[in-house]
Structures are given as C-alpha cells and as structure tokens.
Amino acid sequence: MTTLAPEGVRLAAVGLRKGTARAATRSTARVLAPFAVLAAVLGLWSFTSHVLLDADRRFLLPPPEDVVRKGFLQPDNLSEMLAGLWSTTQVALVGLAISIVLGVVLAIVMNQARWVEYSIYPYAVALQTIPILAVVPLLGFWFGFDFSSRVTVCVLVSLFPLITNTLYGLKSVDAGQHDLFTLYGASRLQRLFSLELPHALPAIITGFKIASGLAVIGAIVADFFFRQGDPGIGRLIDIYRQRLATEQLMTALLLSSLVGLLLFWSFDALGRAVDRRRSARRAAH
C-alpha cells in the first residue's frame, strides 16, 4: 500500500497536467479557428475580385480593400450607415424585449394549463409559417409605417423560437423531481420557480440566441418596406442597391450582421454564466 500511494499521486498529477494542456489547446483553437476561416474567406474574396472578374465587372464584387476604404474610412458614408444602424438596432432591441416577455409568459401559461397550449400553440406554429414579406405590407396598411409597425414585425419574426424553447425546457423536467415536489406538497408557484424555470434556463437562453438574430432580420426587413421615420440600415441597403454602390452595400451588410453577432454573443455569455453557476451548485451538493 505504501508503494502504491506515491504512484497514484504521480498518475493523478500527470492526468491533471494532460487535462490542463487539452483545455489550453481547446481554448487556443476556439480563438484561432474563426480567424483562420476569416483569412480564408478574405483570400478567396480578393482572388475572385482581382483575378476572376474583369475590371469592368469588378463592381459586382469589389475587393475587400475597396469596401474598407469607401465604407469604413470615408466619414460621410460611415456616419450615414452608423445612424441607420442605430435606428435599426433600436427597433430590434425593443422587438426582442417584447418577444422575450411574450414568449416566456405564453410558454409558462401553456405549461401550467394544457388547454391553453392546445388553444394557442397551433396558431404560434401557423404564425411561423406565414411569409413575413407578405405580412409586412399588410401591417403597414393596418397600423401605419412608423416605429411601432417595425417593432411588430420583429416580434412576429422572433416570437416562435422563444415559445418553443421555453416550453420545451419547462416540459423536460425529470418526472422523479416532480414526484419529490409533490411529496413535499409544493404549490404550483413553488414548483415553477424552484424546479421548472431553473431547469429550463439553458433552453430559454438558447431561444434568446435564436431570437436575437431573427429580431435584427425583422428590423431590416421592416425598414426595407416602411419608408417613414428615421432611415434604418434596411432602407440604406435598398438605396445602395439602386445606386449600384456595392462597397457601401457590403459595408451595411457587415455592420448589420455585427449587431446580430453582438446580441448572440451576449446571450451566449449569459448561458455560459448560468452553466458555471449550475455546475458550482452541483459540486457544492
């Protein structure tokens, strides 16, 4: 026994070092892999623009340096796009916030009352299948073409993933845990706030991440059609398309995708924090 103990300690130390090395390798790959893909995309983009396209057709896909020079480095173009981006971001944030509240509340009500789920969920599915491009003009005719109509489009686009993910998370609680709460005589509210919602948090945050990108798309689509009020990035995209200003058009697309990425990364960080807290609680118990 005395000879085995030092060997066990040594093996444990070796395993710990290997685990640390693997974790460091994964962290490095997580950082470097996106930059490697970005470099490959930029290289292919530049090759296509400079080599495969003739000079008179290069406006179809201008090289990256032209996009940076005309879109990001010219103050007039950049300030115009940033103003439009801020208008679209406001619409997306308000629409996303309303969708989060509505989606989570509706899913909770559906989970608490089965007849509500049977009554509402089919219409939520039907709402998801309606082409948004066909609905947007009708919303403009009915409610006008102002800020509230743009927000409504965002809500319609991003609501379904929030309902579905939240409802799935609430329903995926283990039956044994429900039996334990029943054994202790827990009320519905105690079961909801102490069991179902904490268990559903990862699924709910996944719904947040999906809905964040959809809200940005909805804001751009709404701005593309609704031409009253402050011009958003969607209207600028249409203007650049008409002018064949491809450099500004691609810059506007990059900036709008950046908003979606920032929202997604924010909710992803929130999800990681929730996972760490859940892991810490499991380790403590």
- 121-148 pLDDT, tens per residue? 998 888 888 888 778 888 878 877 788 8
Q: How far apart are CA 138 and CA 153, in angstroms?
A: 11
DSSP the chain: -TTHHHHHHHHHHHHHHHHHHHHHHHHHHHHHHHHHHHHHHHHHHHHIIIIIS-GGGGGGS--HHHHIIIIISSHHHHHHHHHHHHHHHHHHHHHHHHHHHHHHHHHHHHHH-HHHHHHHHHHHHHHHHS-HHHHHHHHHHHH-SSHHHHHHHHHHHHHHHHHHHHHHHHHTS-HHHHHHHHHTT--HHHHIIIIIHHHHHHHHHHHHHHHHHHHHHHHHHHHHH--SSS--HHHHHHHHHHHT-HHHHHHHHHHHHHHHHHHHHHHHHHHHHHHHHHHHHHHH-
Length of the chain: 285
Residue 62 main-chain phi, psi, to 5 deg: -65, 150
The domain covering 66-284 belongs, at the CATH homologous superfamily level, to MetI-like (1.10.3720.10)
In the prediction, which pLDDT does 61 show?
87
What is the pTM assigned to this prediction? 0.84
**Crossing angle between the packed helical segments 75-112 and 233-243, to the nearest 10 degrees:** 130
pLDDT-flagged residues of the chain (< 70):
1-25, 227-229, 285
Find, among 145, 277, 256, the residue nearest to 205 by Cα. 277
Where are the chain's structural domains?
Answer: 1-61, 66-284
Q: What angle do CA 62, 63, 69 make, to 5 degrees?
A: 90
- 11-47 pLDDT, tens per residue? 555 555 655 666 666 777 777 888 888 899 989 989 9
Q: How far apart are CA 166 and CA 107, in angstroms?
A: 6
